[in-house]
Amino acid sequence: MPRPFRFGLQSYVAESAQDWKNQVNAAEDLGFSTFTLADHYIGPGAALDRASHPVQSIAAIPAMAVAASVSKTITIGCKVLCVDYHHPVVLAKELATIDLLSEGRLEIGLGAGWVAAEYEAMGLEMDRPGIRIARLEAVADLVRRFCAGESLDIRSEHVTAFDFDALPVSPQPGGPKIMIGGGAPRILAMAGRVANIVSVNFNNSSGTLAGPGIATATAKDTLEKIGWVRDGAGDRFSDIELEIPAYFTKVTDDGDATVASMAPMFGLEPDVFREHPHVLIGSVDHIVETLQTRREKYGISYVSIAGKPRDFAPVVAQLSGN
């Protein structure tokens, strides 16, 4: 049996406290499984221009806490917390606290960092990928053990935590699910080894969204990436939930025209862009059929969108939990 569909809604901007609360409540009311944001700190300016990244107006940890406080059933998360931006023990404690106070509605996304201009603008050293990925794996291990309430004795290259018991303990059996993702072999193999959820994404090793990202995530590329996850996971592959962000989503009855107008922007032929796993463009019925076909082809059952949740709500209503 295929894994049931889940849908996430991601936001980057809150215009006010009430606007943020309204976004969370709308996601919950419309049937989305998760509400997430990302983990970026720099505002508009030359650094953000170099990154070619959209602005994020609010910080992840406090925004997650508020989202949890104004909702009742929806899972709260982050896609993803950059481990280089946070002290490991402080991050683990903050996440465990949100998990406890939300009564077990936390999903933890962790990442190795990739926006080079943001590191530079904040005065952080950006280590080579191998070091960042090793640090991510070490922090993921700490977070899992912390949420389990273990007596900690970790003295590694990337994490130090010893001579104390971790509190609070997660109310979730087995602790919060941990999501790790990426678009390159090393990070996806590691995600396969340690994550509950693997997010199949662009290869952003260029450090900017102006790089070749979307061209590294075609249908053929995505199958290869899932192979890397499988290689890392081994026997536990069937336990992993595969997620994909649908960055280019539009519910429209004129999908062909939309695809034809957008494809050249990314240097892709319309047929390639239409089948791109990060693209969902067309009528509700077309998107429903597309997601069912892709689940069969890739095994991806968890899909995240950003923006216009009400347009996408009929898809969520038809597929969630099925």
Give buried/exposed letters for 153-184 (b at 16+ CB in 10 A, else e): ebeeebbebeeeebeebbbbeebbbbbbbbbb
Q: pLDDT tens digit string along 176-220?
A: 999 999 999 999 999 999 999 999 998 877 666 555 678 888 999
For the segment 119-130, the average pLDDT, to the nearest whole number, is 97
- In angstroms, the Cα distances linking 134 to 66, 186, 191, 320 are 31, 10, 11, 35
For the segment 294-298, the average pLDDT, to the nearest whole number, is 97
**pLDDT surpassing 80 at residue 79:** yes
49-53 — which CB contacts under 8 Å span 24+ positions? 50/116, 50/117, 50/208, 51/115, 51/116, 51/117, 51/118, 51/207, 51/208, 51/209, 51/210, 52/208, 52/209, 52/210, 53/115, 53/118, 53/208, 53/209
CA distance 14 to 290: 31
For the segment 151-169, the average pLDDT, to the nearest whole number, is 98
Residue 282's pLDDT band (boundaries 50, 70, 90)? very high
DSSP string, 74-110: SEEEES-EEGGGS-HHHHHHHHHHHHHHTTS-EEEEE
| Nearest Cα to Cα of residue 111 among 12, 204, 238 | 204
**pLDDT surpassing 90 at residue 270:** yes
For the segment 106-127, the average pLDDT, to the nearest whole number, is 96
Q: What percent of the chain has pLDDT over 90?
A: 91
CB atoms near residue 200 (< 10 Å): 26
- In angstroms, the Cα distances linking 123 to 117, 118, 145, 184 are 10, 8, 30, 26
**pLDDT surpassing 90 at residue 167:** yes
Give buried/exposed letters for 227-238 (b at 16+ CB in 10 A, else e): ebbbebbeeebe
Q: pLDDT tens digit string along 219-267?
A: 999 999 999 999 999 999 999 999 999 999 999 999 999 999 999 988 8
**pLDDT surpassing 60 at residue 92:** yes
CA distance 124 to 4: 40
Q: Which residues contact 23 (CB under 8 A, 6 or more apart)?
A: 9, 11, 14, 35
Domains of the chain: 6-319 (3.20.20.30)
For the segment 298-311, the average pLDDT, to the nearest whole number, is 96
- In angstroms, the Cα distances linking 67 to 82, 175, 287, 295 are 20, 20, 28, 29
Region of poorest pLDDT, from 46-55, 113-122, 203-212, 268-277: 203-212
The pTM score is 0.96
- How much is the pLDDT for 311? 97
First to last CA, the chain: 10
Residue 94 is which amino acid? E
Mean pLDDT in the chain?
95
How many residues are recorded in the chain? 322
Q: pLDDT tens digit string along 11-38?
A: 999 999 999 999 999 999 999 999 999 9
Q: pLDDT tens digit string along 48-75?
A: 999 888 899 999 999 999 999 999 999 9
- How much is the pLDDT for 214? 82
- In angstroms, the Cα distances linking 133 to 69, 105, 136, 180 are 32, 26, 5, 11
